[in-house]
Structure 1
Amino acid sequence: MNAMIQQEIADYKQHFLHINHGVMSVYDKYQQYKNFEKTDIDMDLLKRMTKFYFGTDSLLFDEDSYVRLMYVMNNADFDTDKPTSLFFFYDSNFNQTINEEQLYTIIHRLGYNILQGEVHEIMQQLADKNGEQMTLSQFWILFEELGIIQRQ
């Protein structure tokens, strides 16, 4: 991860540390982030997504992972006609898919060292029937496997 991205993530983390310590629900923490950063990510959509996929309103992130994820959401730069800041949450049926290159980019932006071939293997294991696309729910399962997010 280059120094500029590392610095920006450090800045985000510093903002969070001024707001809250420890772990709290993803959308409670996000609401604080939204108020602080004046970002355009839809809070109601975030709630719907967590409830739909996890059956709970209390999906938890640790401080560092949450900051990194928010950074990625706000700096996504993928080919899409949807808003880039949370491109994989905007499908109304929660069936938005991402490809291997996008997943590789996301994992790298989160600061994890992973080879393109490893991403390919992961996606083969989690992919849907065409073996190339990955649904949002599969994406979150992967994030759990990588230890980036955790259920309560």
Structure 2
Amino acid sequence: MTTIILIITGVLTALVAGLFYAYSCSVVLGLGKLQDIEYLKAMQSINREILNPVFFLSFMGTAIMLPVCTFLYRAHSPVFILLLLATIIYLVGVFGVTMMGNVPLNDQLDQFNIGEATTDAVKKMRGVFENKWNYLNMIRTLCSTMSIILVICACIWAKTE
């Protein structure tokens, strides 16, 4: 049963890493080419639509399954250490950065009324939002990638035990 839980944890972690990687190497680049109003409208739409059960299952599921998996492998030193590192990196660098950084930015953008804003206000909002959000997303991308690498290493190590 612990092997199945480890595999599920790996899949969830990979899904989250893939999401942030796809954003970093395609979505962010494409959105960056849009005019200010279109950019803000697109980000508002994306930020609203991502709040769905499929996203929550993978994002929150990883935050739950990594600690559970780490606990289950507590008697297997190398696997435990790999999973513990993956858990810490995910909880701080992905979950924490999202909750403390990206979500407040998304909320701020969601409350911004584009239709009633002046051109200068739109430009200012984009300036406040875009670079910081992209920087935080880069952190999430790197941390989720490190987490999945560590989970893969734990899977390989667990197989040899």
Q: Which TM class, normalised by the smaller chain length?
A: under 0.3
TM-score of the two chains, using structure 2 as the length reference: 0.25
Higher RCO, 1 vs 2 (CA within 8 Å, ≥6 residues apart): 2
More helix by share: 2
More strand by share: 1
